Amino acid sequence: HRSRARRAGTSFPFPYTPYLIQEQFMAALYGALEAGRVGIFESPTGTGKSLSLICGALAWLRDFEQKKREEEARLLAVEESGQEGKECPSLAGPAHPESQGTAGEPDWVTAFVQKKEERDLVDRLKEEQIRRKKREDRLEKIRHNVQLKYVAKRKRAEEDETKRLLQLSKEVLSEGAGDALEQLDDNEEELILAEYESDEEKKVVSGLEEDDDDLEEEHVTKIYYCSRTHSQLSQFVREVQKSPFGKDTRLVSLGSRQNLCVNEEVRRLGALQLINDRCMEMQKNKHEKKSDEENEGKKRRVSRTICPFYSYEQMQFLRDEVLVEVKDIEQLVALGRETKACPYYGSRYAISAAQLVVLPYQMLLHEPTRNAAGIKLKDQVVIIDEAHNLIDTITCIYSAEVSGSQLCCAHSQLLQYMERYRKRLKAKNLMYIKQILYLLERFVAMLGGNVNQNPSCQAVSQTGTVLKSINDFLFQSQIDNINLFKVQRYCEKSLISRKVLPLRIYGQLSWPKLPASPFLFGPAGTPQSPAVEAENDQVRTASPLMQIEGFLSALTNANQDGRVILNRQGTVGQSSLKFLLLNPAVHFAKVVEECRAVIIAGGTMQPVADFREQLLSCAGVDPARVVEFSCGHVIPPENILPIILCSGPSNQQLEFTYLTRDLPQMMDETGRILCNLCNVVPGGVVCFFPSYEYEKQVYAHWEKTGLLTRLAAKKKIFQEPKKANQVEQVLVEYAKCIKRCSQAGGQMTGALLLSVVGGKMSEGINFSDDLGRCVIMVGMPYPNIKSPELQEKMTWLDKKMPRATGQAPSRVLIENLCMKAVNQSIGRAIRHQKDFASILLLDHRYARPAVFNKLPQWIRERTQVKPAFGAAFAELRKFHRGKLDALFCGPGNGL
């Protein structure tokens, strides 16, 4: 059934009676959006955070749209009745002074300007109303199936065309090697760079022809919702579908070509870069098809494959279908296949009219990607969910690394391209290509190598890691006289990296004299072995010049905001240049400046000082604009038992520092604690270690001492795999084992999962109910302070940030990184209202006030500090026995 929550006069439709904390969350969210704030919102997993975000934000949007329509109607009524001048300030902005203009113009000039602005505003409002009415009528028709006959007929025609085009594509690909060689001269036309005009910026909507007005609309006020993964976004869309707003919200899901492409010929390529390149190539072929037809009288050109799904008419239909009914990524792809329309571009055309746009946050945070997708943030609302690692995400997006091998390969590729087409390239193209070649040469020299020699055979004389400021790097590499902004723009506009991409690598540095064809050829034109084909595809996927473009772009950051790391290893090929972004706020600043409101949300946002100081304050956000909201958990206090354990069963103090954690007695004590716990905790126990290396070391020690055998007698032991593709299988086996043990009874009581903080299982995995009845944290997972990157970040913070609470900013950073990781890991166990679990923190340092206060409030309030193991063990035994009795004996206490 549906319920309505009311707070402070605002109505929040809700699919069920909300918890009090959900009502508080929605009211705070509504207030932040209305006031144009930057909000940091924390709501623990299991408290219905997604639904609170949906109902709170969409209730605000509903009210905002209603108020806007009322104000528009009022202004238009004033205009019609001839009472001009009584404009609505919220729509038209501040009125001009009546007596004299700000620049000292006479009153009649000021009045004329004011009247003109009012007339322009009224005209804009009328146009907007016409567009809105047109869109609403179109979507209403689709809802009531008026166009079904026409659509069915169009679909059949498109299917026939699709079959014909796919057949043509196969025929082209199946032509013999001899035919392919005859066609090479014609194909090479595609590889020649067009004349480049550096000062001419051409506005192009990605994939949209300029004269195609039907697909382009005015951007309405909307909410951009971002999360980390496609699965999280799909889950969010399903929540929208179930919400009271599910029927009336125009929602569009955005994703990569890898997730949205429906052309099987392209999907089969697998690698994202290859899919992107093939898609762009087929798109280009479609745009050039018309000009080829006009030149039919000339020499016959090679048949080029075009994408049958890239049809404006069909994408327009898909766009409207997307806006009529809420669809997640999977449903969008299914619709694309059904309508023979491209979901990747069709979904982008829906952005302007959508009220809610759902997308991965890399797509929103990376400005070039944002612009390419047609995302406009001006006066819009952005909600970034799962934002606990937002600072790290922005840092990673804008950092870049290139290896010596990539630099040498790109140089060889570009040099041979220039030599081959020198006579056919314009002067400006040659100038920029020479500049890029010089840059590559100097970059390799900075690694101690020669760009003309095989990087794998060049030994580096001085190994080690060196950090330099951007300016120092530019001066020492002797490239400070080159305008990197112009080079970067040339790379973007000319698509040089795509032009040279068809050239394939044979050996380390030898490049073939033939452009790409449907077959792979060796130096003599003979077909290659599958092994060589696989190697070539692997290298081609790496796209060295594209990687280097990212590094060049990074070098255009301000000198104080980043560092260049020279990592010299055994050979030049193994060495690398890395740009490290120190100040992620410079790239987040544009988001908070342009948007009406920004909400940073997560299940565990503590400690929030990082967001306030490193991100918002450095981005120039007024502290008065920032609002924080944190709520407790919906579980009863008696359903969670967090304990800080200071010593083990043999009174060994628990302090897992780098110096003490490798001691045999520390590893023995950890094993004894686990043995005792496995005797009293039913179901699953998840134990987190600071690193893979330490987990492996402890496991080997227990194996040697026999502790592992004792543990295995009570719980079957599972280890977190390093490879991502093996995680699912381990989790399935872990869950099966727990279920089997709970049903069979006997000596085995469940399973023990040895995991790693920051690994595959510390984020995004739910250990609800029997999967995680106890979560153990071994030691404090401090980051490696010997890392050059971290040391540079610490130095930068100490220079830029004020000292807070008597601690150096670098020290605060280390503690915050540690506690963020801890909070993410221990939050895996409690996932819904009736869930219960114990949490054990094995290290006496957790009891220190500075550390203790960084635990999430709902855990901190219930945490007990136990100096001795005996008292802690008694509490744990009592807790789990009580819960088991309640489960099996108490009425209405089932999960």
Amino acid present at 49: K
| pLDDT over 70 at 5, yes or no | no
Q: How high is the pLDDT of residue 596?
A: 92
Which has the minimum average pLDDT: 229-243, 504-518, 613-627?
504-518
681 neighbors 752 (Cβ within 8 angstroms): no
Q: CB–CB of 814/785 below 8 Å?
A: yes
Does the pLDDT at position 504 exceed 80? no
Whether the pLDDT of residue 1 is over 50: the answer is no
Question: How far is 148 from 202, CA to CA, in rounded Å?
Answer: 39
Distance between CA atoms of residues 84 and 121, nearest Å: 11
- pLDDT of the residue at 247: 86
Q: Tell me, what's the pLDDT at 654?
A: 92
Q: Does 607 sit behind a cis peptide bond, omega within 30 degrees of 0 on the bond before it?
A: yes
Residue 891 pLDDT greater than 80, yes or no: no
Stretch 725-754: mean pLDDT: 82
3-state helix, strand, coil in the chain (%, to 5): 55, 15, 35
Lowest mean pLDDT among 108-117, 804-813, 831-840: 108-117
Report the pLDDT averaged over residues 236-253.
89
Question: How many Å apart are CA 504 and CA 521, to the nearest integer?
Answer: 9
Instruction: Quote the CA–CA distance of 636 and 835 in Å, as a whole number.
Output: 9
At 157 the pLDDT is 58
Work out the end-to-end distance of the chain between its first and last CA atoms, rounded to an integer number of angstroms. 21
Average pLDDT over residues 847-868: 89
Q: Give the model's pLDDT for residue 145.
A: 63
Q: Nearest CA to 33 among 218, 219, 224?
A: 224
Dump pLDDT digits (tens) for 396-433.
888 889 999 999 988 988 898 888 888 888 888 889 99
pLDDT value at residue 888: 57
Mention every residue, 6+ apart, whose C-beta is less than 8 A from residue 561: 581, 582, 583, 586
Pick one of 3.40.50.150, 3.40.50.1700, 3.40.50.300, 3.40.640.10 as the CATH number of 640-885: 3.40.50.300
| Average pLDDT of the segment spanning 266-283 | 80
Query: How far is CA 700 from each of CA 656, 668, 695, 709, 722, rounded to the nearest angstrom?
Result: 18, 12, 9, 12, 17
Average pLDDT, stretch 854-873? Answer: 90
3-state SS string for 208-273: CCCCCHHHCCCCCCCEEEEECCHHHHHHHHHHHHHCCCCCCCCEEECCCHHHHCCCHHHHCCCCHH
Q: Round to whole Å and give the CA distance between 317 and 349.
A: 10
pTM exceeds 0.85 = no
**869-889 vs 664-680: helix crossing angle, rounded to 10:** 30
CA-based nearest residue to 687, from 754, 734, 767, 750:
754
**Sheet-wide strand order for 640-645:** 715-719, 750-756, 683-689, 774-778, 837-842, 640-645, 864-866
| pLDDT-derived band at 874, boundaries 50, 70, 90 | very high
What pairing do the DSSP bridges indicate for beta strands 10-14 and 3-7? antiparallel
Lowest model confidence (mean pLDDT) among 203-212, 480-489, 673-682, 794-803: 203-212
| Cα-to-chain-centroid distance, residue 621 | 23
Helical spans, DSSP H, in 543-597:
544-554, 585-594
According to the model, what pLDDT value does residue 522 have?
30
Lowest-confidence pick of 5-19, 512-526, 818-832, 841-855: 512-526
Provide the 3-class DSSP secondary structure of residue 571: strand
Q: What is the pLDDT of residues 451-496, one digit of tens each?
A: 888 888 888 888 888 899 999 999 999 998 899 999 988 888 887 8
Q: Residues 518-539: pLDDT tens digits?
A: 222 233 333 333 333 333 443 3
What pLDDT score was predicted for residue 831? 73
880 or 300: which carries more pLDDT confidence? 880
* pLDDT tens for each residue of 770-792: 888 899 999 999 988 888 888 99
Strands 576-581 and 562-568, how do they pair?
antiparallel
Q: Of 160-164, 378-382, 687-691, 876-880, give the lowest mean pLDDT range.
A: 160-164
Residue 298 has pLDDT above 80, yes or no: no
Does an H or E element contain 777, and which?
strand 774-778
User: In terms of C-beta distances under 8 Å and separation of at least 24 residues, what long-range contacts does 90-99 make, across chains too?
Assistant: 91/121, 91/125, 92/117, 92/118, 92/121
Type of residue found at 355: Q
How far apart, in whole angstroms, are the C-alpha atoms of residue 17 and residue 718?
A: 40
- The per-residue pLDDT for range 358-390, each reduced to its tens digit, is 999 888 999 888 888 889 999 999 999 988 888
- Highest average pLDDT, of 137-151, 268-282, 573-587, 876-890, comes from 573-587
Residue 511 has a pLDDT of 35
Residue type, 53: L
Pairwise CA distance, residues 483 & 727, whole Å: 47
Average pLDDT, the chain: 78
Model confidence over 182-208: pLDDT tens digits?
A: 344 445 565 666 666 554 434 433 333
pLDDT score recorded for residue 772: 83
Per cent of the chain over pLDDT 70 is 75
pLDDT at 812: 86
3-state secondary structure of 581: strand
Question: pLDDT tens, 558-568?
Answer: 888 899 999 99
> Residue 476: which residues within 8 A CB-CB, separation 6 or more?
446, 468
Given a cut of 50, whether residue 301 has pLDDT beyond it is: no
What are the tens digits of pLDDT across the range 84-141?
444 444 444 434 334 444 455 667 667 766 667 666 777 777 777 677 677 666 666 6
* Per-residue pLDDT at 871: 92
Of 18-32, 608-622, 874-888, the one with minimum mean pLDDT is 874-888
**Highest mean pLDDT: which range of 131-140, 282-291, 334-343, 743-752:** 334-343
Residue spans per domain, the chain: 219-386, 400-503+543-583, 640-885
Strand order in the sheet with 223-227: 251-253, 356-360, 223-227, 381-384, 597-602, 38-42, 626-630
Q: Is residue 579 over pLDDT 80?
A: yes
pLDDT given at position 530: 37
